[in-house]
Amino acid sequence: MRAFTRSGYRDPDQAREARNAMPSESNTMPSDIDLNRPSAARVYDYYLGGAHNFASDREMAERAIEMWPELPLIMQANRAFLRRAVRFCVASGVNQFLDLGSGIPTVGNVHEVARAADPDARVVYVDIDPVAVTHSRSILGDDPRTSVVHADLRRPDLLLQRPEVTGLLDFSRPVAVMMVAVLHFVPDADDPAAVIAGYREAMAPGSFLVVSHATHEGQPRRADEHQQLYQRTATPMTMRSRAELQALLDGFDVVDPGVVYLPLWRPESLDEVDEHPERFTGLAAIGRKR
């Protein structure tokens, strides 16, 4: 098993960098948030060693880590997949990104990774959590090739008409729609297949859908306890099987190596490979629109 710190960063300097990259809470915190209710975005920030979380988030995250000590490592593997996926999209000629459920910014954001490969890359960040949106806006400032939208990804019809989206992304060209660690916050009752179809219909052929998703396969008991814990948040979790995720990719050709555990999606170094990838309980896939 690989060593990791509570923050999820193997290098404490990297964790510090993530924290220092952001302004203090007092400068940016929206006034209308419920501090007593944990949020998925802020709990995730805590797992990754960020500073944009409150007591209720930390309490829930610590409880989850007690039950499941590898959680920070799993979140780190998810971020590593996101970075590999962005590099894959740019290398495949796609340099515009719609990052749905983008979360609180941390080291290696989509625009940073994309721009390292293509300085003209454009990114629209979207999140339902006001803290994530506020921090994203404050980091990006007036960068003309990024924008941040406070919206619910379950309404593609509304989101795709927002000027922050239409002003930056050209849907007549291929685009990468990122749904990384967010679809498990869309319950079956909200028809995730229809939500994805709403984006797919707007995407030009050759566009990519990038997905990672929590699964109960691999560690079913722990996954069930984890799912229970997220009932406290405004966005409870729905874990899905490999077959269910595969079905959600309908209308896309799934690129090699298919729907796999996070570390198995085109690892770039031996460091990213693990002998027990099922421990990561997160599935990853990229689909290309036909």
Ligand X SMILES: C[S@@+](CC[C@H](N)C(=O)[O-])C[C@H]1O[C@@H](n2cnc3c(N)ncnc32)[C@H](O)[C@@H]1O
Q: Which whole-number Å values give the CA distances from 159 to 59, 154, 198, in the listed order?
A: 33, 9, 10
| Span near ligand X by CB under 6 A; candidates 122-130, 165-173, 238-246, 258-266 | 122-130
Among 61, 180, 245, 285, binds ligand X (CB under 6 A): 180
The binding track of 77-96 with respect to ligand X, each residue x by CB under 6 A or -, is: -xx--x--------------
Nearest CA among 51, 53, 55, 57 for reference residue 23: 51
**Is position 132 an interface residue for ligand X (rule: CB under 6 A)?**
yes
Among 5, 92, 227, 235, binds ligand X (CB under 6 A): 235
**Is position 115 an interface residue for ligand X (rule: CB under 6 A)?**
no
C-beta of residue 249 within 8 angstroms of C-beta of residue 259: yes
**Is position 53 an interface residue for ligand X (rule: CB under 6 A)?**
no
C-beta of residue 164 within 8 angstroms of C-beta of residue 148: yes
**Is position 40 an interface residue for ligand X (rule: CB under 6 A)?**
yes
Distance CA 92, CA 192 (A): 27
Residue 11: is it exposed, middle or buried by C-beta count within 10 angstroms (0-12/13-18/19+)?
exposed
Residue 54 Cβ, how far from ligand X at the closest point, in Å? 14
**Is position 202 an interface residue for ligand X (rule: CB under 6 A)?**
no
Q: Which whole-number Å values give the CA distances from 5 to 2, 59, 71, 74, 142, in the listed order?
A: 10, 18, 11, 12, 34
Among 44, 88, 199, 261, binds ligand X (CB under 6 A): 44
Among 38, 49, 101, 282, binds ligand X (CB under 6 A): 101
Interaction residues for ligand X, span 149-178 (CB under 6 A): 152-154
**Is position 124 an interface residue for ligand X (rule: CB under 6 A)?**
no
Interaction residues for ligand X, span 59-78 (CB under 6 A): 78
**Is position 127 an interface residue for ligand X (rule: CB under 6 A)?**
yes
Grouping H, G, I as helix, E, B as strand and the rest as coil, residue 46 is: helix
What is the size of the binding site for ligand X (CB under 6 A)? 22
Pairing type for strands 252-254 and 282-289 reads antiparallel
| Span near ligand X by CB under 6 A; candidates 13-21, 125-133, 221-229, 276-284 | 125-133
Contacts of residue 94, defined as CB under 8 A and 6 or more positions apart, other chains included, come to 174, 175, 176, 206, 207, 208
Site residues, ligand X (CB under 6 A)? 40-41, 44, 78-79, 82, 101-103, 126-129, 132, 152-154, 180-182, 185, 235
